[in-house]
Amino acid sequence: MRPYGLEAEQRREPLGVGERCPRLSWKLESDRRGAAQSAYQITAAERAADLDDPDRLVWDTGRRSSGDGLLVPWDGPALRSATRYHWRVRVWDETGAQAGAAQSWFETGLLHRDDWTAVWIGRDPALLPHVDPPADEDLPSPPLASPPLYLRREFHLARQPVRARLYATARGVYEPRLNGARVGDVEMAPGWTEYHRRLQYQTYDVTDLLRPGANVVAAIVGDGWWCGYVGFDPRRPAQHYGDRPAFLAQLVLDFADGSRQVVATDGNWTERPGAIRAADLLMGEYVDHRQHVPGWDLPGVAGFRPVAVLDTAPGPLVAEPDHPIRVTRTVAPVEIRRRGPGRYVVDFGQNLVGRVRLTVRAATAGHRIVLRHAEMLADGELYVDNLRRARATDVYVTGGDPVEVFEPRFTYHGFRYLEVADHPGELRLSDVVARVLHNDTPWTGWFECSDPVVNQLQSNIAWGQRGNFVAVPTDCPQRDERLGWLADAQIFAPTAGRNADVSAFLARWLRDVVDGQDADGAFRDVAPVVTLGREAAPAWGDAGVIIPWYLWRVYGDRRVLERGFDAMRAWVDHVHRHNPDLRWRNRTGNSYGDWLQVDVTTRRDVLATAYFAHSTQLVAQAAEVLGRHDEAEQLRDLHARIRAAFVDSYVGDDGTVEGGTQTAYLLALAFGLLPQRLVPAAVEHLAADIEKRGHRLTTGFVGVALLCPVLADHGRADLAYALLHQDRYPSWGYSIRHGATTIWERWDGWTEHAGFQSPAMNSFNHYSLGSVGDWLFGRVAGIDQTPSSVAYRELLLRPLPGGRLTWARAEQETARGRVACGWSMSDGRITVTVTVPPGSTAVLQIPTPDPGSVCENDAPAAGRPGVLGVEPFAAGVSLRLTSGRYTLTATAPDVVP
C-alpha cells in the first residue's frame, strides 16, 4: 500500500497558500484486499534534504492512529510567509506494518498585511481623454473605456537570485510578463470574486526568467469583471466595482547570501497603450498589431509615461485558493466553408468556451479581420440573436509581418462556429484553432456505456462543465449574463464532483455566496452579487446550505461546514422568520419555481416549502457533525414541523401531491416528506404521469435532477431508462438527435415544430438540465456512498442494468483513492467489476434472481478473500467487501427494456 496524490489545501504543490494552517491530504492504493491505513506520520522541513534529519524538521506529528489521509490540518509552528515547506507522509497498514511513504511540498504566500509594500498603479487620470479607443463600427457600443494598460518597470540585478516570486493581482484582468516572456499560464487572472470583500492575488515562480543586469517586470491589464461589462446590466459596471483598471504586484527576489530585494508597483512604473486597443469579456477584443511596440517589455524602451498611484491601500487581498483558469486543450476545426470573398464560416464540431488562435500570413499592414462567434447556424450563417448584447466579436488589424498570430487575451466566448470576415487570403484548416479555457479543476471521473447516445449525453455534460466553470460557476458562457446563479450551481454540483475535483473551486465560490448574504440572512440569486439585489428564490438561496453539505459529504471538507455554518443557519432562520406557518410563501424573491419546466406549472409554494424542509434537515445534520447537538435537536424539530405542514397543506390521503406535476412528486419523494404509507401511491401517480405523456418529462431545472434517481430508487428503473433513452421532445435525446454537443438551457431551445426559442433567453450551453450526470455515475454504473458515509468511506455500489444497455462502467478518483464500478451482461450472466480503495469498504448490490449464483473465479463469493458477508436483498444479493479489486458474476437479472 502506498500514498499518492499528495495535496495541500486540495491542490497539488500549490504556490502561495494563504491559509495559516493548511490541510494536507493523500490517497492510497494497493493491490491487496483489505488494505487499510492504521496510522500515519507527517514530517515537514524547509529543505527537502532535511526531511531525513530529525533535528531539522519543523513539524513532526509522530505516529498518529488514523485511517484517513483527508485534510489533516497543519498544527506545527506558525508558518512563515513566502516559504516552501517540504512534507512527507509515512503510513502503516492494517496489520501495523510500515507501508509506503511519499513526499510533496507547498509554499506559503504573503501571510501578513505588512508583507505588502506594493501600491495600486494605473493610467494617469489626466491622460485619459487623450487615449481614445479606436473608432470602429465593430467595437462595442457604447464605446469601451480607454485601452488596456501596458505597464513596465526596469530594474537592475547585481547577481542572479536563487529564488524569485511574483505576487500579482489587478482590478481588472492581467497578464504578467518578465523580460519579454509571459509569466505562468494563468488566464483571466485574478478571476472574479466579491471584489470589495476579497481580491485574489496569484503567485508565480519566476526564478528562471531573471538575469544579472537590466530586467523588466511588466504587465498588460484590461477591464475584466472589474470595469468591463458584466451580466445583463446595460450600464458600464463602474457601478459595481470601479471605473478603471489598476495593477498591484510585488516581485520578491532572494539571494544566496540570504538577502532579499523587492520590486513592487509604485510611482516608478511607466505605462502606454499597446496593441490591444480594447478588451471586454462580453464584447470581445480589438488588437491593432501596428500599435505593437517591439520589445516593449525588455530593457531600454522609451516612450512610456509615468503611471499614477491610484490607491496606497492594497485592499482585501487573499491568496488564490483554487485552480486558476488555464487553456486546457485545443480543438481543431472540422470544416471551413467559404461564404463570400474573404469570408469563411468555421465549424469546430463542438460547442466550447474559450477563443481562437488565428495565423495570418503575408498580409499587408492595416488589414482588418473580424471574428464573430456563435453556438448555432441559421441557413449556414452565424446565429447570434441569442447572445443578446454580448457582441463576441474580435478584431485583428494586421501589422504587415510575414506571419502573425492573433489570439485575444482578455475575453472569452461560447461558440462552436466562427466567422472570419475580411480575411486576406485563403483560410485553411491549419490556420485556426480553438483554445478551450476554464478553471483547471483536475478531471477525476470517467463514465462509459454501450449506448453511444448516452455517451454523447455524458460528453455534453462534461463540455457544459468545462464551459461554465470559468471564474465562478456560471449559468452560461456566451450571452450577456455569465453569472454565478445559485440554483444552477447546487443542482449541478453533484454531477460536477463526479467529473472533476471541484472541492477548492466551489469552496472558494461559497465565500462569494456568503459575502452576498444580507443582515436578515438572505442569500442572493447570484454570487458575486451584480444587478440582482433581492433575496434569493427558493432552490436558489438553498445553494448556500446544499453546497457546503455536499463538500463535506463528498470531500470530507469539515472546515467548509465550520466556516459556513452560521450562514447556513441564518438562511433557514430567515425563511422561518418570514414564514411562521412553515409554508414558504413570503420572501421568495423572484420565485422562479421549477424554472423552464414544460407544459405544466409546479406550484411555487409546494416547491419552496419542500426546499425549506430540505435545507432545514441539512443544517440539522451539519450541526450534528459540528457537535452542536442542541441546535441539531431544535432544527430536527423544526424540520418535523415543516414536513407535517407540507403534508397537511399539499398531500392527499391517496398520495397525491398538490398540483400533481412530476416535480411536485419528485420533491416530496426525494426529500422524504411523505408518510411512509403514502410513498407507494405517490410513486404510482408520478409513474402514471410519465406514462400518460408517452414516457416524457415535464421537469425544469429543479425537478430534473431528481427524476431518474427517484424513479430508480422506488422500483421504476424501467421509467428512468425510458426517459434516458427518449429522443422525442422534450428529452436529452432530442437535443442530441439534433446535433447538441452541450446541454441546452431549455428543452425547446430548438425544435422541429417551432425552430429557435425566443432569443431573449436561449443558451445552448447551460449545465442545469445535465444534472442527470450524477445518476449516470451513481446508478447506471453504480458508484455511490451510504447515507452516513463521508468522502466515500463506505461505498454503496449499485449497478443498475436496464434500458438498452448491455454494459456500463465508471471510475472516479475520489478523495481516498480510485473507485470503479462496472457491469456487463452476456450469455445469461451479469459480470460486475469493482475497485474499492484502501481504507474504504463497500456494500455491493448485484441484481440477480438467484442469490446463490454469485461467484468469483467460479467459486462462491461467500468465503472469497475480502468478502465479509453475502446476503439476499430485495432484487438480488448484497455483498460486504473490504478494499481491493473484484470481478464477480451471477445469473443475469431479467431487464424489461
**Smaller CB distance to ligand RAM: residue 761 or 825?**
761
Q: Let me know: does 161 contact 206? Beta carbons within 8 Å.
A: no
**Smaller CB distance to ligand RAM: residue 646 or 744?**
744
Q: Stretches 384-392, 475-483, 566-574, 860-868: which one binds ligand RAM (CB under 6 A)? A: 475-483
**Pairing between β-strand 199-205 and β-strand 213-222 as defined by DSSP bridges:** unpaired
364, with CB counted inside 10 A (0-12, 13-18, 19+), is: exposed
Q: How far is the CB of 590 from ligand RAM (least distance, A)?
A: 7
Q: How far apart are CA 276 and CA 150, in angstroms?
A: 9
> Does an H or E element contain 116, and which?
none
**Smaller CB distance to ligand RAM: residue 671 or 701?**
701
User: Can you tell me which of 168, 219, 363, 487 binds ligand RAM, judged by CB under 6 A?
Assistant: 487
Q: Stretches 46-54, 445-453, 474-482, 617-625: which one binds ligand RAM (CB under 6 A)? A: 474-482
Our CA angle for 686, 596, 747, nearest 5°, is 85
Q: Stretches 3-11, 27-35, 483-491, 719-727: which one binds ligand RAM (CB under 6 A)? A: 483-491
Residue with the shortest CB distance to ligand RAM: 475
Q: Let me know: does 106 contact 83? Beta carbons within 8 Å.
A: no
Is 745 among the residues known to form the active site?
yes
User: Can you tell me which of 475, 480, 501, 784 binds ligand RAM, judged by CB under 6 A?
Assistant: 475
Q: How far apart are CA 231 and CA 531, in angstroms?
A: 8
Q: Provide the residue count of the chain.
A: 897
Q: Which of residues 411-450 bind ligand RAM (CB under 6 A)?
A: none
Q: How far is the CB of 492 from ligand RAM (least distance, A)?
A: 10
Q: Report CA 785 to chain centroid distance, whole Å.
A: 22
- Complete DSSP assignment for 335-368: EEEEEETTEEEEEEEEEEEEEEEEEEESPPTT-E
**Smaller CB distance to ligand RAM: residue 415 or 595?**
595
* Per-residue interface string for the shown chain with ligand RAM, residues 170-209, x marking contact by CB under 6 A: ----------------------------------------
341, with CB counted inside 10 A (0-12, 13-18, 19+), is: exposed
Helix, strand or coil, per DSSP, at residue 807: strand
Q: How far apart are CA 629 and CA 623, in angstroms?
A: 7
Name residues whose C-beta falls within 8 Å of residue 590's C-beta, 6 or more positions apart in sequence.
525, 532, 534, 537
Q: Which of residues 362-421 bind ligand RAM (CB under 6 A)?
A: none
Q: How far is the CB of 596 from ligand RAM (least distance, A)?
A: 8
- Complete DSSP assignment for 674-722: S-GGGHHHHHHHHHHHHHHTTS-----HHHHHHHHHHHHHTT-HHHHHH
Catalytic entry in 271, 481, 811, 856: 481
**Smaller CB distance to ligand RAM: residue 101 or 761?**
761
Name residues whose C-beta falls within 8 Å of residue 315's C-beta, 6 or more positions apart in sequence.
120, 199
Q: Let me know: does 157 contact 251? Beta carbons within 8 Å.
A: no
Residue 123 has, within 13 A of its CA and on its CB side, a CA count of 24
**Smaller CB distance to ligand RAM: residue 363 or 491?**
491
Handedness of CA 13, 14, 16, 17 (dihedral sign): negative
User: Which amino acid does the sequence have at 405?
Assistant: V
Q: Let me know: does 408 contact 188? Beta carbons within 8 Å.
A: no
For 422, the grid coordinates are 475580411
Q: How far is the CB of 730 from ligand RAM (least distance, A)?
A: 17
Please choose, from the candidates 513, 506, 548, the residue with its C-alpha nearest in 3D space to the C-alpha of residue 529: 513
Please choose, from the candidates 733, 722, 705, the residue with its C-alpha nearest in 3D space to the C-alpha of residue 453: 733
Cβ atoms within 10 A of the Cβ of 466, count? 26
* Per-residue interface string for the shown chain with ligand RAM, residues 564-603, x marking contact by CB under 6 A: ----------------------------x--x--------
**Smaller CB distance to ligand RAM: residue 492 or 565?**
492
Q: Which of residues 750-809 bind ligand RAM (CB under 6 A)?
A: 761, 766
Q: How far is the CB of 888 from ligand RAM (least distance, A)?
A: 43
Q: How far is the CB of 434 from ligand RAM (least distance, A)?
A: 23
How many residues of this chain bind ligand RAM (CB under 6 A)?
A: 10
Q: How far is the CB of 731 from ligand RAM (least distance, A)?
A: 20
Q: How far is CA 378 from CA 66, 443, 741, 874, in A?
A: 61, 34, 17, 52
**Smaller CB distance to ligand RAM: residue 51 or 486?**
486
User: Can you tell me which of 19, 154, 394, 488 binds ligand RAM, judged by CB under 6 A?
Assistant: 488
* Per-residue interface string for the shown chain with ligand RAM, residues 248-287, x marking contact by CB under 6 A: ----------------------------------------
Q: Which of residues 702-761 bind ligand RAM (CB under 6 A)?
A: 761
Q: How far is the CB of 696 from ligand RAM (least distance, A)?
A: 22
User: Can you tell me which of 29, 440, 481, 784 binds ligand RAM, judged by CB under 6 A?
Assistant: 481
**Smaller CB distance to ligand RAM: residue 592 or 646?**
592
Q: How far apart are CA 198 and CA 148, in angstroms?
A: 23
Q: How far apart are CA 715 and CA 370, in angstroms?
A: 56
Q: How far apart are CA 891 and CA 879, in angstroms?
A: 15
Residue with cell 455536499: 550
User: Can you tell me which of 248, 476, 622, 678 binds ligand RAM, judged by CB under 6 A?
Assistant: 476
Q: Stretches 2-10, 473-481, 810-818, 867-875: which one binds ligand RAM (CB under 6 A)? A: 473-481
Q: How far is the CB of 701 from ligand RAM (least distance, A)?
A: 7
Q: How far is the CB of 447 from ligand RAM (least distance, A)?
A: 24
Q: Stretches 480-488, 600-608, 630-638, 848-856: which one binds ligand RAM (CB under 6 A)? A: 480-488
Q: Let me know: does 23 contact 6? Beta carbons within 8 Å.
A: no
Q: Stretches 333-341, 402-410, 479-487, 692-700: which one binds ligand RAM (CB under 6 A)? A: 479-487
Q: How far apart are CA 319 and CA 168, in angstroms?
A: 10
Q: How far is the CB of 229 from ligand RAM (least distance, A)?
A: 16
**Smaller CB distance to ligand RAM: residue 392 or 454?**
392
Separation of first and last alpha carbons in the chain? 43
Q: Let me know: does 490 contact 457? Beta carbons within 8 Å.
A: no
Please choose, from the candidates 798, 594, 801, the residue with its C-alpha nearest in 3D space to the C-alpha of residue 701: 594
Q: How far is the CB of 475 from ligand RAM (least distance, A)?
A: 4
Catalytic entry in 107, 375, 404, 745: 745
Q: Stretches 378-386, 482-490, 510-518, 839-847: which one binds ligand RAM (CB under 6 A)? A: 482-490
Q: How far is the CB of 617 from ligand RAM (least distance, A)?
A: 23
> Does an H or E element contain 549, and which?
helix 543-555
Q: How far apart are CA 152 and CA 156, in angstroms?
A: 13
**Smaller CB distance to ligand RAM: residue 72 or 491?**
491
Q: Which of residues 666-685 bind ligand RAM (CB under 6 A)?
A: none
**Smaller CB distance to ligand RAM: residue 483 or 651?**
483
Would you report the helix, strand and coil content of the chain in percent, each value rounded to 5? 25, 30, 40
User: Can you tell me which of 241, 286, 396, 485 binds ligand RAM, judged by CB under 6 A?
Assistant: 485
Is 481 among the residues known to form the active site?
yes
**Smaller CB distance to ligand RAM: residue 229 or 485?**
485
Question: What residue ranges bind ligand RAM (CB under 6 A)?
Answer: 475-476, 481, 485, 487-488, 592, 595, 761, 766
Q: Would you please indicate which residues are annotated as catalytic (active-site) residues?
A: 481, 745
